[in-house]
């Protein structure tokens, strides 16, 4: 679910999952893609950033109304047993939002052709916030503004009406989640760099989540974007808990904590989590200058911070207690984020986060000394180099850091003095000319390697693979000047054996060359003839 954020200097940060659940790439999505095409056709000249809130707000409203109507019908059937379909507490008991009459979808759909539809939608949003305090200040309420074509608004309402979202079966299939996340991804792509401020491709999020495996405890993201780290964590629990896909009990064992500085993105996060019934403590504010969870010690930190951030006002925080490994430079927040994550880790906590590749080797402005101190404290558990072209809004290469507060804590094998390096730059599949995605197999290869190395139960036996992974001791990292680039450690991949005799290979290649030369002559002659017919030949 949610979030990558490149800053204006080209860095990268919402984190949300791929809408296909990891079974295929976005190149062959069906229902969600067709829905997007229809919705996008109604955008006309409206800016994507503006249109996003119109569409996502309506999808959210449709979802809670559908869920309400399904429960309402069930209560109607139980009237003779004392059930009251108009009692808000009947819905809240099942974690279903109470939807007042003026906000119910059938009413709004019926009024869609009216010129007053914008005000009616705004009134509906106000009414839902009034009766559901956890949504206070979250929903968009500017549908009545003069600049929004009310005819098109009515068309969008009719389009959204075709999505079945609220039945128990649809909720089980997470229809809304898939549509919502797919739309978030497409809006991020349409908006370019500004869109990337709140969207991290889902396949990148899945690598973090699958590697950390957050089954139980406090999950924290201090720059949470639209909440995708939390969505993927919840999806991981559903898929893996108790070995049978039933994550009901496990979800109760996870608590979610987050913060987001962008108010609009914070609202998206609140909606994104609310539609999945994920209860979370998501605060709005600047994490560095107004840490809203100052005393939190998290079991898992999952984050994709706005790396290479040059305007984080670090000069105002020179003596901050979080800088245990050195004062980060005011011109780059990378190691401010790293130290913030460490500061909020519980004694046995694990952190996984995305940063620009420069963080692994930079020595500018004291960054090398901070990295050295973190390495010497034996906090670096694993480093993963990712392939390029993964993000919508920047081509800057990124890596994954994994930190462990205590490498000997009884959960896994004793890994003190050792760090795993994984070079995954050759993984991934191009889904168009400029975007690459990690497949489910890629994610499992990376995560499985890490789990085997750290000694997870039933994860298999770890072995170094030249060109892909290698476990290195602290002394070796020292010899490399505390540089953490995996390519320095994993070596070169073994050359593939070629059992074709040299003479046969040369004959085959020469034959292919001759055939291609003949084809070239034929095409040249055909082009010349066509040009002559058009009067351009001699």
> Is residue 33 one of the residues assigned to a domain?
no
Q: How far apart are CA 132 and CA 126, in angstroms?
A: 10
User: Same domain, yes or no, for 158 and 213?
Assistant: no
Lowest-confidence pick of 43-47, 74-78, 164-168, 259-263: 164-168
Q: What residue has token string 């072209």?
A: 389
By three-state DSSP, how is residue 209 classified? helix
Nearest to 275 by CA among 54, 35, 96: 96
Global confidence as pTM: 0.75
- By CB neighbour count within 10 A (0-12 exposed, 13-18 middle, 19+ buried), where does 454 fall? buried
Token output for 174: 């997470």
Report the run of H or E that residue 302 belongs to, with start and end: strand 298-303
Asked if the model's pLDDT at residue 236 lies above 80, the reply is no
Of 150, 166, 182, the residue that ends a domain is: 166
CB of 402 closer than 8 Å to CB of 350? yes
pLDDT band with cut points at 50, 70 and 90 for residue 386: very high
Of 149, 166, 183, the residue that ends a domain is: 166
Lowest-confidence pick of 48-57, 59-68, 187-196, 298-307: 187-196
User: Same domain, yes or no, for 140 and 199?
Assistant: no
What DSSP assignment string belongs to 366-428? Answer: GHHHHHHHHHHTT-EEEEEEPPSS-SSS----EEEEEEES-S-SSSS---TTEEEEEE-TT--
User: Same domain, yes or no, for 311 and 442?
Assistant: yes
Q: How far apart are CA 392 and CA 175, in angstroms?
A: 24
> Is residue 114 one of the residues assigned to a domain?
yes
Task: Provide the CATH number for the domain around residue 101.
Answer: 1.20.1260.30
Q: 335-348: per-residue pLDDT in tens?
A: 999 999 999 999 99
Mean pLDDT of the 221-233 span: 84
User: Same domain, yes or no, for 439 and 384?
Assistant: yes
> Is residue 202 one of the residues assigned to a domain?
yes
The secondary structure of the chain in percent helix, strand, coil, rounded to multiples of 5, reads: 45, 10, 40
Asked if the model's pLDDT at residue 124 lies above 70, the reply is yes
3-class secondary structure for 42-95? Answer: CCCCCCHHHHHHHHHHHHHHHHHHHHHHHHHHHHHCCHHHCCCCCCHHHHHCCC
> Is residue 473 one of the residues assigned to a domain?
yes
Residues facing 256 on adjacent strands = 219, 280
User: Same domain, yes or no, for 485 and 509?
Assistant: no
User: Same domain, yes or no, for 353 and 426?
Assistant: yes
Q: How far apart are CA 236 and CA 231, in angstroms?
A: 9
Nearest to 39 by CA among 51, 24, 21: 51
> Is residue 157 one of the residues assigned to a domain?
yes
Beta strands 380-385 and 418-423, pairing class:
parallel
Domain total for the chain?
A: 3
Token output for 363: 């020595």
Report the run of H or E that residue 345 belongs to, with start and end: strand 345-356
> Is residue 369 one of the residues assigned to a domain?
yes
Q: 485-502: per-residue pLDDT in tens?
A: 999 999 877 654 456 677
User: Same domain, yes or no, for 203 and 153?
Assistant: no
Asked if the model's pLDDT at residue 173 lies above 90, the reply is no
> Is residue 517 one of the residues assigned to a domain?
yes
Q: How far apart are CA 16 and CA 233, in angstroms?
A: 11
User: Same domain, yes or no, for 479 and 507?
Assistant: no
**pLDDT of 329:** 95
User: Same domain, yes or no, for 505 and 449?
Assistant: no
CB of 170 closer than 8 Å to CB of 164? yes
User: Same domain, yes or no, for 270 and 332?
Assistant: yes
Q: What residue has token string 């080797």?
A: 361
> Is residue 418 one of the residues assigned to a domain?
yes
Q: Which residues form the domain of 126? A: 47-166
Task: Provide the CATH number for the domain around residue 268.
Answer: 3.40.50.150
Asked if the model's pLDDT at residue 149 lies above 90, the reply is no
User: Same domain, yes or no, for 348 and 255?
Assistant: yes
| CB atoms near residue 363 (< 10 Å) | 13
Mean pLDDT of the chain: 82
User: Same domain, yes or no, for 86 and 203?
Assistant: no
């Amino acid at each position: 679910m949610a979030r990558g954020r490149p800053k204006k200097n080209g860095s990268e940060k919402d984190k949300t999952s791929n809408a296909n659940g990891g079974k295929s790439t976005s190149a062959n999505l069906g229902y969600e893609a067709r829905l997007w095409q229809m919705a996008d056709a109604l955008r006309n000249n409206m800016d994507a950033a503006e249109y996003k809130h119109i569409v996502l707000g309506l999808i959210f409203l449709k979802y809670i109304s559908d869920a309400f109507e399904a429960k309402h019908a069930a209560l109607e059937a139980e009237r003779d047993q004392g059930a009251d379909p108009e009692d808000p507490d009947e819905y809240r008991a099942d974690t279903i939002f109470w939807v007042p009459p003026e906000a119910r979808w059938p009413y709004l759909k019926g009024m869609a052709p009216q010129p007053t539809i914008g005000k009616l939608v705004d009134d509906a949003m106000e009414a839902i916030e009034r009766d559901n305090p956890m949504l206070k200040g979250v929903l968009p309420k500017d549908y009545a503004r003069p600049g929004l074509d009310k005819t098109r608004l009515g068309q969008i309402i009719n389009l959204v009406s075709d999505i079945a979202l609220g039945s128990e079966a649809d909720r089980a299939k997470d229809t809304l989640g898939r549509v919502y996340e797919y739309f978030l991804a497409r809006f991020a792509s349409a908006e370019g760099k500004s869109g990337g401020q709140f969207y991290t491709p889902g396949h990148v999020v899945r690598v973090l989540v699958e590697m950390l495996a957050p089954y139980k405890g406090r999950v924290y993201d201090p720059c949470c974007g639209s909440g995708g780290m939390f969505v993927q964590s919840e999806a991981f629990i559903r898929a893996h808990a108790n070995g049978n896909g039933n994550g009901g009990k496990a979800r109760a064992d996870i608590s979610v904590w987050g913060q987001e500085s962008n108010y609009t993105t914070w609202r998206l996060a609140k909606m994104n989590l609310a539609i999945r019934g994920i209860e979370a403590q998501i605060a709005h504010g600047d994490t560095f200058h107004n840490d809203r969870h100052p005393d939190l010690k998290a079991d898992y930190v999952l984050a994709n911070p706005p790396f290479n951030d040059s305007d984080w006002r670090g000069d105002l925080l020179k003596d901050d207690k979080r800088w245990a490994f050195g004062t980060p430079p005011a011109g780059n927040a990378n190691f401010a984020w790293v130290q913030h994550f460490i500061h909020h880790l519980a004694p046995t906590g694990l952190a996984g986060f995305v940063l620009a590749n420069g963080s692994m080797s930079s020595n500018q402005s004291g960054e090398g000394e901070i990295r050295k101190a973190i390495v010497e404290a034996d906090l670096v558990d694993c480093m993963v180099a990712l392939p390029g072209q993964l993000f919508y809004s920047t081509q800057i290469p990124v890596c994954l850091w994994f930190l462990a507060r205590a490498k000997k804590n009884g959960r896994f094998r004793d890994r003190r003095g050792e760090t795993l390096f994984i070079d995954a730059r050759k993984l991934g599949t191009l889904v168009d000319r400029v975007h690459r995605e990690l497949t489910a197999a890629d994610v499992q290869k990376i995560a499985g390697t890490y789990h085997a190395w750290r000694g997870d139960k039933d994860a298999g036996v770890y072995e170094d693979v030249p060109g892909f992974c290698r476990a290195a001791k602290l002394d070796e990292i020292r010899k490399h000047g505390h540089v953490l680039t995996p390519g320095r450690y994993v070596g070169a991949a073994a050359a593939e054996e070629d059992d074709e005799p040299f003479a046969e290979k040369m004959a085959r290649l020469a034959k292919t060359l001759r055939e291609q030369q003949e084809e070239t002559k034929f095409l040249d002659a055909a082009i010349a003839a066509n040009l002559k017919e058009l009067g351009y030949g001699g």
